[in-house]
């Protein structure tokens, strides 16, 4: 198993010399195996390890015992340990999402928080070959495209790494037993109340028993084959993008000739054009791509709006993808917002709704990126809105005393340079609390002690 993990690490260039690596450890067999293995390899790889654990507060005393176990395990290995508890059921209810999704959100937010606090380079996650097979099967059932069938990336964003992605759950259990690691058992993983658990406990075993006993490896081979095919198609798209598309200051032009290409090519060209502008295609679905293809068939001058402040229009059969026109402000002015009313700020092209809510109220939390909620009692001074200024810093957590340069955050979020001066900032007194549409400071987040909630909704005046 050690050789398999080393092979996976080297083939995917997971670590660089001297990397600081955060290992996400729940206490189960997968993550304990990962931590134990990386600790064995850390000298050879020349990496430094820290452990991060999230207590989801879903299993009462059992969850607390998981946290204690991981802490003691980390201490035995002389590895720094960091943990935090989140009431996932409460967060799930507040955000109107499943407890699975709420758990994932808080985990990755906390991983990122610790990464920033420690100046770490990588976050190691314990996904394994069985997780890969389950993911591919679930995506098949959702009707994903070929890129989705590749499954879980061994490395994502050059931050999240998965050294166990080619190791089966059986091999992991055998490793834990051989090394007397005694991992914790999460009994909820044995209940078929979640979609993934149903796939793991019912569907895959049924397929293995009735159709293909080697279904896990068959699904992994499917992902590997499609990965090879997608890499080839994407190389073709890269070459065609150079001749069929043109990137300018705040827009990408897809020439009409591009729409004579095969559907597999033009769809990817559109996705690449969106990625060139935004840094990713997050929030863009198949229907958006098809809408753009349909728009190209229509009359010149027609346009459609897309997510992330994007507009697409037909210019004599060329398709132009660009940011919506927004005023650029250079006066560095700020406006103090009034409570429990709509604040009309036409000079900033904004309307900001500010409302104080009592936690006892039956609050229906919005998932809109332009509506956020804060602990009202944590706020000192006036509530203001403005645009960025030279030297602005954003304090992500209470421990982040100096704050991080707003410019660096924009770069990490891959926000187009021309858009950065147009993003509203909500400030409590003189401290930035919300980069509207992108990120809020954990310093003002609601928690189990919150009594009053400040709801802020930002929208364009036109």
Which CATH code is given to the segment(s) 334-460? 3.50.40.10
Establish whether domains 2-217 and 248-323 are of one fold. no
Say if CB 340 and CB 399 are below 8 A apart. Answer: no
Q: What is the CA angle 151-156-161, rounded to 5? A: 95
Which CATH code is given to the segment(s) 248-323? 3.30.465
Annotated domain spans of the chain:
2-217, 248-323, 334-460
* Three-state secondary structure call for residue 239: helix
How far is residue 191's CA from residue 390's CA, in Å, rounded to a whole number? 53
Burial 253-284 (b: 16+ CB within 10 A, else e): bbeeebbebeeebbbbbbbbbbeebbeebeeb
Q: 384: closest CA among 439, 442, 441, 345?
A: 345
User: Residues 6 or more apart from 433 whose CB is under 8 A from it?
Assistant: 374, 379, 426, 427, 440, 441, 443, 444
Q: What is the pLDDT along the chain (462 residues), one digit of tens a residue?
A: 889 999 999 999 999 999 999 999 999 999 999 999 999 999 999 999 999 999 888 778 888 898 999 999 999 999 999 998 888 888 877 766 677 778 888 898 889 889 988 999 999 999 999 999 999 999 999 888 888 888 898 998 889 999 999 999 999 999 999 999 999 886 666 566 567 888 988 999 999 999 999 999 999 999 999 989 999 999 999 999 999 999 987 899 999 999 999 999 999 999 999 988 887 787 788 899 999 999 999 998 899 988 888 999 999 999 999 987 654 444 578 899 999 888 888 777 788 999 998 877 777 777 778 899 999 999 988 999 999 988 899 988 777 677 889 988 888 887 877 788 889 999 998 899 999 988 888 888 888 888 899 999 998 765
CATH topology of domain 2-217: Rossmann fold (3.40.50)
* Burial of 178: CB neighbours in 10 Å, binned 0-12, 13-18, 19+: exposed
How far is residue 29's CA from residue 183's CA, in Å, rounded to a whole number? 5
How far is residue 453's CA from residue 445's CA, in Å, rounded to a whole number? 9
């Amino acid at each position: 198993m050690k050789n398999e993990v080393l092979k996976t690490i080297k083939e995917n260039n997971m670590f660089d010399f001297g990397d600081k690596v955060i290992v996400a450890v729940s206490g189960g067999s997968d993550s304990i195996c990962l931590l134990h293995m990386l600790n064995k390899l850390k000298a050879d790889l020349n990496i430094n390890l820290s452990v991060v654990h999230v207590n989801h507060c879903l299993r009462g005393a059992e969850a607390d015992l998981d946290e204690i176990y991981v802490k003691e395990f980390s201490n035995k290995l002389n590895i720094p340990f960091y943990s935090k508890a989140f009431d996932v059921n409460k967060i799930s209810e507040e955000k109107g999402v499943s407890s699975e999704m709420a758990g994932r959100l808080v985990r990755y937010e906390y991983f990122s928080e610790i990464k920033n606090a420690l100046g770490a380079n990588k976050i190691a996650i314990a996904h394994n070959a069985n997780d890969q097979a389950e993911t591919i099967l679930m995506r098949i059932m959702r009707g994903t495209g070929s890129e989705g069938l590749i499954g879980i990336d061994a490395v994502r964003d050059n931050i999240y790494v998965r050294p166990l992605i080619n190791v089966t759950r059986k091999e992991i259990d055998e490793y834990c037993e051989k090394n007397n690691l005694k991992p914790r058992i999460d009994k909820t993983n044995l209940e078929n109340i979640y979609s993934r658990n149903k796939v793991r406990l019912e569907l895959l075993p049924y397929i293995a028993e009735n159709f293909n006993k080697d279904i896990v490896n068959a699904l992994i081979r499917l992902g590997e084959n499609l990965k090879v095919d997608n890499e080839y198609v994407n190389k073709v798209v890269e070459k065609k993008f150079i001749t069929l598309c043109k990137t300018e200051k705040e827009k990408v032009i897809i020439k009409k000739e591009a729409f004579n290409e095969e559907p597999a090519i033009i769809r990817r060209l559109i996705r690449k054009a969106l990625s060139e502008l935004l840094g990713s295609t997050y929030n863009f679905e198949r229907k958006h791509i098809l809408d753009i293809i349909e728009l190209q068939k229509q009359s010149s001058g027609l346009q459609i709006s897309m997510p992330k402040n994007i507009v697409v229009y037909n210019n004599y059969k060329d398709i132009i993808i660009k940011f919506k026109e927004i005023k650029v402000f250079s006066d560095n002015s700020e406006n103090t917002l009034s409570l429990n009313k709509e604040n009309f700020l036409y000079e900033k092209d904004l309307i900001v709704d500010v409302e104080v809510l009592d936690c006892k109220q039956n609050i229906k939390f919005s998932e809109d990126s332009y509506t956020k909620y804060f602990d009202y009692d944590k706020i000192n001074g006036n509530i203001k809105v403005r645009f960025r200024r030279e030297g602005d810093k954003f304090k992500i957590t209470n421990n982040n005393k100096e704050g991080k340069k707003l410019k660096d955050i924009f770069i990490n979020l891959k926000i187009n340079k021309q858009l950065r001066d147009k993003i509203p900032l909500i400030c409590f007194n003189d401290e930035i609390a919300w980069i509207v549409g992108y990120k809020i400071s954990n310093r003002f987040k609601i928690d189990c002690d919150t009594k009053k909630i400040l709801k802020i909704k930002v929208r364009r005046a036109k």
